[in-house]
Structure 1
Amino acid sequence: MTPAELSRTVARAVCRAVEEGALAVEVPEASSVRVERPRPGGTGDWATGIALRLAGPAGRPPREVAGVLGERIARAPGVERVEITGPGFLNVTLEGSAQQRLVEAVRAAGTGYGMPGGRPVDAPVAAAEPSGASVVRPDQGTRGRRPAVGAVVGDATSVRLTQRVYPLPTPDDRAALWAEVLHRMGAEPRVAEPRPAEPNPTEPNPAEPRVAEPRPAADRSPEPHAPAPHLHVTPAPPGLVAEVGVDAARWAMLSAAAHDRPRTHNVLVQHERNPLYKVRYAHARARALTRGAGLLGFEAAAEEVVDAPVLTQAIADHPVVVADAARLRAPDRLARHLEATAEALLAFQHTVLPAGDEKPSAAHRSRLALAEAAGTVLAGGLSLLGISAPEHL
């Protein structure tokens, strides 16, 4: 049951209470019935303050109104139970766990989860590494040796995944990069008004169509998916792509707000203090957990509720963040969300696999399913930014 469906369920419960004579109020429109995540101390999947809103018109205490509505909401299909908390909030628990349903939804959608139209972005397929960077393959013996700055570490699969499909239209043109990413996010195209053609007195026959001379580059109208004319994007330093490579350059230019300078500090540092490394490393850890579980003989399955509210909320928020980033024309919002998701996953990862002689259980299978869902979010988000998500790092 979606929030919109739950709003309609609450409105129908009010309608039934009025028809049965249990309440004497005006039935609100379903669109005006607000449901939200429970606040601290609340319970269930969703909460609504409709009883507090109707208590005045009904001339009755809020908790009494909540009791009238709660018993009718609880009869609706898909609702497991309804509890009254605080002064009269209705906390609704849906059938099955919201977290389990979320994980299953991500597993079903794959990297299309949260994407425009629900379709995954094509995997990067063409290489562009900084000058001096090297590709370190397994047969070169990386154990015990720190890779060179900018190196790509992994097997043949991960090397293939680090290749690119979205080259910058102009390597250091940050505005063009933003236009490309916003277009992929599904942002509404914004086209500048075309200039009216000016008469040319030198033409022998003005009635005949003439070929317009090309305008200077700074004077051209934006492409159909270019940033809006009022959105001014601070330029990137010249030579940034050649200096740090395409992935790092894209992150530097997309993770800062339009009016801020690209974040080039520590962009190649192989440490969690580098946000790009943190996000890609968290994705690689999610994939490593799956491989480790396979060696231990178990697979992911959302069988139990996992106590990881921060990571669960980050996964649930992903579609909203993508939509907001497109609507507000701010891809930096997605970059910040990926960083927060990576932090939550890295803090959670240590609980996933059995330790010592511990046998795999439903808890481990459920934790692995949640970690895999987080890895899917990271892979999908990076693909929207046109940045590779290697399985080994």
Structure 2
Amino acid sequence: MTPEQLSTAIVGALTDLVDSGALTLPDAVPASVVVERPKSKEHGDYATNVALQLAKKAGLPPRDLAGLLADRLRATEGIAAVDIAGPGFLNITVEAAAQGALAAQIVEAGAAYGGSDLMAGEKVNLEFVSANPTGPIHLGGTRWAAVGDALGRIFEASGADVTREYYFNDHGAQIDRFSTSLLASAKGEPTPEDGYGGAYIADIAQQVMQTEPRVLDLPDDEAQEVFRSVGVNLMFDEIKQKLHEFGVDFDVYFHENNLHESGAVKRAVERLTDLGNTYEKDGALWLSTEQFGDDKDRVIIKSDGKGAYLSGDLAYYLDKRERGFDRCLIMLGADHHGYVGRMMAMCAAFGDKPGENLEILIGQMVNLLSDGQPLRMSKRAGTVVRHDDLVDAIGVDASRYALARYTSDTTIDIDLDLWAKQTNDNPVFYVQYAHARLASILRNAADLGLSAARGDAFDPSLLSHEKEGDLLRALAEFPRVVAAAAQLREPHRVARYLEDTASSFHKFYDACRVLPMGDEEPAPIHAARLLLVEATKTVIANGLHLLGVSAPERM
């Protein structure tokens, strides 16, 4: 029996009490009830404070309402006991058979277990990474690649229609500096004062000259344009390849330059003007963002007639909404924190709901440690520690898991020595090893001619050991963990859950013999435990998949 099934049972008990006249609830029966695993095993398998929450509305002391509910729940199939604790908590003990039945339900659901329709019908545009194509991906971009892709997977498991989008910044001053840096490198000149350094600039400059052997014969302005067009494409191809190798691919690569060439900026400005949210001042056109919560109004068209930086954001947001996205979620680095207010004001100026139609997540910095010391900046990148410095040191799986394991709004230090270890101290190894061990048990069973119980051959009441119960309750939590990760935009909840569940499995395996030993005859308990093993393997594989991490069969 899962927490969701218990919630349904409690809602049913409340409904029966209201229908019979034994209880009055002016605001109607709640659609669901929070059911949690208590910290102490003496408090049963599950607990709820629903009586405390509803007592005032019902006009009853909490313990009296708890007593009414307890009487109804005790008659519910699958519930072994209901106790009232403290001021009105309900502690519920589930029958072994009802709890054990979950193993069969998980195996039957397979890859779908953990999913829900929480976000069904929601069309989400998830924009992340969007690193400028002026250099290799830095660690901030790598963090968003891991977190963003995991969030997309979690949204999809929750029923959403997700489009992963990369905003390709191919317009503006940073591209000018990039192309002048390439030209200077090709001519053997020093890096311009505001240009880009690093060995990668020389690499790309050489590739451009191989593609266009006569480029240096051109006047500087024409040569720079060649370095711009060819060099940006080369850099962006490398970024896309690195992300692909990291297991992250995008559905849409949106070019910023298109906004300016297609008239999208003009259309966005006209829309805002029609809504009465722009005005002219000092020869410029301003957006009235202060009235929507920004700290001041913003220029969108400068006095020279050129669009201000915000004009591109206006056009891009409107374009997403016109493409039919209900929710536009953008992931930005910590240096963009001050930008959130104006973006939300922009959303409101279009008549949309900030936080609903537009969401912005801010990610903090990532530091790499080796031998306890911060890793030095990359010579190739020139100014930053880059994506490859992490992946080359610990691999894709450990990198993705490590980056998704923490809340995005905290700075993290990744100890390369720890994450490279093939020991249980390494969180991703610990979880992956649990999956490999589960796979090994099932292979060994097959070698003995044994298989997990199926259908009527499965007696869930046999899974009555304390450690079996602990593991089953852990498996039952997975759908709620995934739902919470989706609602709170926190993939790290899945990672931490997997570590806890791997621990519950190892404790179960140490206490409960799954396969017969020696000349021992196979018994129904072995088949039942094999089904529990298969269910656990399914859950860990599903969780790792949500994080974009492999689930190895052997280690």
TM range (shorter): 0.5 to 0.7
**Equivalent of 1:182 in 148, 151, 160:** 151
**Is 1:315 aligned to 2:313, yes or no?**
no
The answer to whether the aligner puts 1:110 opposite 2:260 as a matched pair is: no
For the structure 1 residues 95 and 345, does the alpha-carbon distance in structure 2 shift closer, same or farther, using more than 3 Å as the test? closer
1:13–1:51: structure 2 CA closer, same or farther, 3 Å change rule? farther
Sort the Cα spacing of 1:313 and 1:263 in 2 relative to 1 into closer, same or farther, 3 A: farther
Q: For residues 24 and 397 of structure 2, what CA distance do their matches in structure 1 show?
A: 57
Q: Which residue of 2 aligns with 1:385?
A: 547
The aligned residue for residue 353 of structure 2 is none
For 1:371 and 1:248, the matched residues in 2 are separated by: 25
- Structure 1 residue matching 2:516: 3-state secondary structure: coil
Distance 1:310 1:6 in 2: 21
CA contact (8 A) 1:47 1:89 kept: yes
Structure 2 CA distance for partners of 1:116 and 1:384, relative to 1, 3 Å:
farther
Give, in angstroms, the shift of residue 291 of structure 1.
0.9
Alignment of 1:275 with 2:427, yes or no, is yes
- TM-score if structure 1 supplies the norm length? 0.67
Supply the AA of the counterpart residue of 2:423: H
Return closer, same or farther for 1:81/1:370 CA change in 2, 3 Å cut-off.
Answer: closer
- Quick one: structure 1 residues 267 and 60, their matched pair in 2 at CA, closer, same or farther if it must change by over 3 Å? closer
The aligned residue for residue 400 of structure 2 is: 250
- What's the secondary structure of 2:365's corresponding residue? coil
CA shift, 1:35, in A, is: 6.0
In structure 2, the residue matched to 1:326 is 486
Distance 1:356 1:280 in 2: 29
The 1:364–1:220 alpha-carbon spacing in structure 2 relative to 1, beyond 3 Å, is farther
User: Could you list the per-position Cα deviations for residues 70-116 of structure 1 after superposition, in whole angstroms to 9, with x for gaps in the alignment?
Assistant: 5555556x466665555776666678733223212210111221135
Equivalent in the alignment of 1:209: none
- Who is 1:11 aligned against? 14
Alignment of 1:368-383 (within 5 A): 368-383=530-545
Residues 1:260 and 2:411 are matched in the alignment: yes
Task: Name the % identity.
Answer: 28
Q: 1:357 to 1:384 in 2, by over 3 A?
A: same
- Determine if contact 2:11/2:31 at 8 Å carries over to the other structure: no
Cα RMSD, aligned residues only: 4.5
Match of 2:443 among 291, 301, 307: 291
Gaps of 5+ in 1: 119-166, 207-211
Mapped contact 1:3–1:35 kept (Cα < 8 A): no
Q: Deviations over 1:258-277 (max 9, x none)?
A: 22325343212111111111
Opposite residue 233 of structure 1, the aligned amino acid is Q
Local SS of the residue matching 1:231: strand
| Counterpart residue type for residue 305 of structure 1 | L
Q: In structure 2, how many angstroms separate the alpha carbons of the residues matched to 1:116 and 1:52?
A: 26
Task: Compute the TM-score of the two structures, normalised by the length of structure 2.
Answer: 0.49
Distance 2:98 2:130 in 1: 40
CA–CA distance in 2 between the matches of 1:235 and 1:220?
31
| One-letter amino acid of the counterpart of residue 100, structure 1 | G
Q: Which amino acid aligns with 2:550?
A: S
Does structure 1 conserve the Cα–Cα contact (< 8 Å) formed by 2:541 and 2:551?
Answer: yes
Per-residue CA distance 1:11-35 (angstroms, 9 max, x = gap): 13323553xxxx5x52473218846
Q: Distance in 2 between matches of 1:50 and 1:202?
A: 66
Answering whether residue 34 of structure 2 is matched by residue 31 of structure 1, we say no
2:185 matched to which residue of 1?
none
CA drift of 1:345 comes to: 1.5
Whether the 8 Å contact between 2:393 and 2:420 is mirrored in structure 1 is no
Distance 1:247 1:62 in 2: 50
- Partner of 1:30, secondary structure, is coil
